[in-house]
Chain A
Amino acid sequence: MAHTAAIHEDVMAPPRTRAAGAGVYSEKLGMWVFLGSEVMFFTGLIGSYVILRFAHPDSWKPPGHVLNIPVTAVNTFLLICSSVTMVKAFAAAQDGIQRALRLWLVATVLIGASFVGVQVYEYTHLIEKGFVPSEGLYGSTFYTMTGFHGFHVTMGVICMIYVTWRAFRGKYTKEDHRGVEVIGLYWHFVDLVWIILFTIVYLI
């Protein structure tokens, strides 16, 4: 067969034996990629909020009139603390100190759960006052944005309980503690989202 196929340089190249990849293990890479998806989800919600609020600023009450800023500020502080305990847990895992790892993981679970608890308290209080999701754009956006953040924290706490359970069974060693690092990434992301939400929903 007469062919005119161009011969690629590639044909000549000797085989490469190095392992392909991004230089990080798959669970970590997968979590980073997944967080990209989460960024888009919250961007959709926050973007809609910005558009709705710019178009109808009168639908929003001044900061502090409806929402209880001091309580939520304390709650924000709690969540930031849980990021600190998460970092401590990861550091303990890296050093292979099992007792510290378990302690810091339990602390993270407890603080995370109390964040959700305070949010539930806040919701019931607001609904009693008559501030419900159908209360105009203010109520719509408030409950949707903080609600989905709370949902993410709840999912994080559930996964964190699983990781803690595994930590108590000694599954995380100095050499291999992927689960702790991966849940940590998610946890810090959720924390970061809250700082943005607290600013734009409560403070502005």
Chain B
Amino acid sequence: MATTATGAPAHAYGEEHPHVDDRPFIRKYIFSTDHKIIGIQFLLMSLLFLLLGGTLAMVMRWQLGFPGRPLPGGGVLPETMAQGGVILPEFYNAAVTMHGTFMVFFAIMPLLVGVFGNYLIPLKIGAPDMAFPRINMASFWTAVPAGFLMLAGFFVEGGSAAAGWTSYAPLSARSDLSGVHLGQIFWCLSLVVLGLSSIMGSFNYITTVINLRAPGMNWFRLPLSIWALFVTSCLVLLAIPVLSGAAIMLLFDQTLGTKFFEPAAGGQPLLWQHLFWFFGHPEVYILILPAMGFASDIIANGARKPVFGYTSMVLAIIAIGFLGWGVWGHHMFQSGMNPTLGTAFMISTLLISVPSAIKTFNWLGTIWQGNITFHVPMLNALAFVSMFVIGGLSGVFMATTPVDIYIHDTYFIVAHLHYVLFGGSLFAIFAAVTYWYPKMFGRLMNPTLGKIHFWLTLIFYNCTFFPMHQLGLHGHMRRIYDPTQYAFLKEVQPVNTFITISAFLLFATQMLFLVNFIMSWFNGQKAGNNPWNDNGLEWTLPSPPVHGNFPVTPTVYRGPYEYSSPHSDKDFLPQNVPLPGGYPAPHAQPAGD
């Protein structure tokens, strides 16, 4: 191996054969440095938070659908949250805030980046583990206390943070305005701690992808999921510290009496919005880019065809990664920001739809004339593409200032963000979990249950979120406690009730996924090495792979999407298999093509 400039030997990783695994239980499953175990730990943690975030959404939907009626089972809540089961406005605000916070920071982000970044990167690039396995372990065990800190808000005086997941100052900075003191402090602390976890994770992923690729795995043979996770890690690395800085300023405003966001002393509430969205918009791409990567892998597999336009897919990911830094102002068209600046942000935002559209058309090109296998991951990945298109188009509405003036802060934005976060990210997560579950646990998830879950989710999801567009255009504000207090909203109250019923059915459907997840762990059909006939390096290993991954460092001969290749007698051609009879001369045309 190459030696470095300082004469230090480069990593000998991968040269060693995996040893007999004699680690004690606690080092193997609790404080493990194995990226696969850490990935599964993140998976279990974030699924719990996903469930919690969903439950809070049900609380919110009940109040909106049936304002003033006692929440079923609400009697168990303390008097400070619900009186006689009727949700109090303070608790409603807390539920809105914590639903957003848990879903964004503790469910979707760790599901996409923490779980699959950890699980897939070393396996897919042919590495034995992350570049820094101990920092990787620290990353998970920093995320756990952050989650507890955030949860602790519910149990302190004044309740949890209630200023929205965006925590706009001065509402969030002054407890005399929001009525929440400790809860908001915990919110800030939790995000700073979680930020440390994310930064440890991201520089680890970046270093691993750059330095630990197997021989032959050059940049343009990387699976698109790895490309997406790599660019996402760069965004996490550079965006999260800005949020940490802002959260620290907010924390100091609350505890030390600093004046960053206090207008009376010259501080600027708008500064919080700029800092938050400077982080927040790259965050949006952190939450969608990995989903795009997984969908690309799975759609190529389901269509049994190479990804259409691989290079343009990569360039589109990179372009989104760059453009994502220059668009944060589109969240602030109505904040009192200079309108000329608004025009600039409108143009930069509309530019992002170009790489996004490139990706969408490439997905269509991939399935075009394919011999499609509709396995559960494929169904979810196709739902991802179609729902993402709806969310993307409503995004164009929001990005256009004249339209945004009308629909800003209404249910239209709620519909839009759920179409990209639930319809986009979460469908891709369902796809990815189902797809890589056999590698993680050695067993397949039940396909029948998976298909029922998929179809019911798709139906109830659209019933829940599509009517929100109508509500928004009708002027229904987001984050209001009781829509019936406004005369003009009374006539759309049946829509709210319909949405609530759909939302409860959607929530109930997710129990199918939970049951499937747990049952398959013990009773699922044995998967074998390669249940999906995929080309990736991880599928050459037993399920689950052993500690240290590859017995011999694999050599990579081609990209991961050689499905239906004429060079192979099967309809797939794994990345590490040399072609029999050597290599055809470049530009040789295979017969019949």
B241:A37 contact, CB within 8 angstroms: yes
CA distance A133 to B255 in the complex (A): 10
Chain A residues near B559 (CB-CB < 8 A): 8, 10
B248:A24 contact, CB within 8 angstroms: no
B239:A178 contact, CB within 8 angstroms: no
CA distance A148 to B237 in the complex (A): 18
CA distance A133 to B558 in the complex (A): 59
Given A37-B199, A140-B259, decide whether A174 and B7 contact each other with a Cβ distance below 8 A: yes
A40:B238 contact, CB within 8 angstroms: yes
* A interface residues, how many (CB within 8 angstroms): 63
Given A15-B555, A33-B207, decide whether A7 and B590 contact each other with a Cβ distance below 8 A: yes
Chain B residues near A28 (CB-CB < 8 A): 4
A30:B132 contact, CB within 8 angstroms: yes
For residue B271, CB closer than 8 A to chain A, the reply is yes
For residue B120, CB closer than 8 A to chain A, the reply is no
Question: How far in angstroms is the closest Cβ of chain B from A121?
Answer: 20
B207:A9 contact, CB within 8 angstroms: no
Please tell me which stretch of B17-25, B144-152, B211-219 contacts chain A, meaning at least 4 of its Cβ atoms lie within 8 angstroms of it.
B211-219
For residue B491, CB closer than 8 A to chain A, the reply is no
Chain B residues near A204 (CB-CB < 8 A): none
Please tell me which stretch of B88-96, B160-168, B565-573 contacts chain A, meaning at least 4 of its Cβ atoms lie within 8 angstroms of it.
B565-573
A137:B305 contact, CB within 8 angstroms: no
A6:B259 contact, CB within 8 angstroms: no
B207:A26 contact, CB within 8 angstroms: yes
Task: Convert B206-245 into 0s and 1s, putting 1 for each residue whose CB lies closer than 8 angstroms to a CB of A.
Answer: 1110111111111011000000000000000111111011
B213:A10 contact, CB within 8 angstroms: no
CA distance A135 to B588 in the complex (A): 76
Most buried by A among B199, B245, B585, B586: B245
Most buried by A among B131, B241, B274: B241
Given A8-B562, A19-B1, decide whether A30 and B204 contact each other with a Cβ distance below 8 A: yes
Given A11-B565, A52-B268, A140-B259, decide whether A22 and B210 contact each other with a Cβ distance below 8 A: yes
Task: Convert B287-323 into 0s and 1s, putting 1 for each residue whose CB lies closer than 8 angstroms to a CB of A.
Answer: 0000000000000000011100010000000000000
Given A48-B249, A144-B249, A178-B8, decide whether A13 and B558 contact each other with a Cβ distance below 8 A: yes
Question: How far in angstroms is the closest Cβ of chain B from A41?
Answer: 4
Given A18-B215, A41-B242, A52-B267, decide whether A136 and B207 contact each other with a Cβ distance below 8 A: no
Among residues 52 to 91 in chain A, which have CB atoms less than 8 Å away from a CB atom of chain B? 52, 55-56, 59
Chain B residues near A1 (CB-CB < 8 A): 304, 371, 564, 571
Given A1-B564, A16-B216, A178-B8, decide whether A48 and B558 contact each other with a Cβ distance below 8 A: no
Question: How far in angstroms is the closest Cβ of chain A from B281?
Answer: 14
Contact residue among A20, A22, A94 (Cβ-Cβ distance under 8 Å from B217): A20
Task: Convert B183-196 into 0s and 1s, putting 1 for each residue whose CB lies closer than 8 angstroms to a CB of A.
Answer: 00000000000000
* B interface residues, how many (CB within 8 angstroms): 84
Given A9-B586, A20-B215, decide whether A25 and B241 contact each other with a Cβ distance below 8 A: no
B221:A10 contact, CB within 8 angstroms: yes
For residue B487, CB closer than 8 A to chain A, the reply is no
Given A20-B211, A30-B204, decide whether A11 and B567 contact each other with a Cβ distance below 8 A: yes
For residue B266, CB closer than 8 A to chain A, the reply is yes
B211:A22 contact, CB within 8 angstroms: yes
Among residues 535 to 572 in chain B, which have CB atoms less than 8 Å away from a CB atom of chain A? 555-559, 562-567, 571
Chain B residues near A130 (CB-CB < 8 A): none
A21:B242 contact, CB within 8 angstroms: no
A44:B245 contact, CB within 8 angstroms: yes
Chain A residues near B220 (CB-CB < 8 A): 10
Contact residue among B4, B216, B562 (Cβ-Cβ distance under 8 Å from A24): B4
CA distance A16 to B215 in the complex (A): 6
Chain A residues near B573 (CB-CB < 8 A): 11
B563:A36 contact, CB within 8 angstroms: no
Task: Convert B348-372 into 0s and 1s, putting 1 for each residue whose CB lies closer than 8 angstroms to a CB of A.
Answer: 0000000000000000000001010
Question: How far in angstroms is the closest Cβ of chain A from B450?
Answer: 25
A44:B246 contact, CB within 8 angstroms: yes
A34:B199 contact, CB within 8 angstroms: yes
B212:A8 contact, CB within 8 angstroms: no
For residue B9, CB closer than 8 A to chain A, the reply is yes
CA distance A6 to B309 in the complex (A): 10
Question: How far in angstroms is the closest Cβ of chain B from A152?
Answer: 12
B258:A36 contact, CB within 8 angstroms: no
Task: Convert B406-448 into 0s and 1s, putting 1 for each residue whose CB lies closer than 8 angstroms to a CB of A.
Answer: 0000000000000000000000000000000000000000000
Question: How far in angstroms is the closest Cβ of chain A from B585?
Answer: 7
For residue B260, CB closer than 8 A to chain A, the reply is yes
Question: How far in angstroms is the closest Cβ of chain A from B378?
Answer: 17
CA distance A40 to B252 in the complex (A): 19
Most buried by B among A11, A27, A36, A43: A11
B2:A37 contact, CB within 8 angstroms: no
CA distance A89 to B11 in the complex (A): 24
For residue A177, CB closer than 8 A to chain B, the reply is yes
For residue B176, CB closer than 8 A to chain A, the reply is no
Chain A residues near B216 (CB-CB < 8 A): 15-17
A sample of 7 more A-B contacts (CB under 8 A), given A7-B565, A24-B4, is A1-B571, A10-B221, A15-B215, A15-B578, A26-B208, A37-B238, A143-B256
Q: Show 14 A/B contacts (Cβ-Cβ < 8 Å), sorted by A.
A: A7-B565, A7-B590, A12-B584, A15-B215, A16-B216, A20-B218, A36-B238, A37-B237, A51-B274, A134-B259, A140-B267, A144-B249, A144-B252, A175-B8
Instruction: Enumerate the 3 nearest inter-chain pairs by beta-carbon distance, A residue then B residue, closest first.
Output: A134-B257, A44-B245, A140-B258
Seen from chain A, the residues whose Cβ lies within 8 Å of a Cβ on chain B are: 1, 3-30, 33-34, 36-38, 40-41, 43-45, 48, 51-52, 55-56, 59, 94, 132-134, 136-137, 139-141, 143-144, 148, 174-178, 181
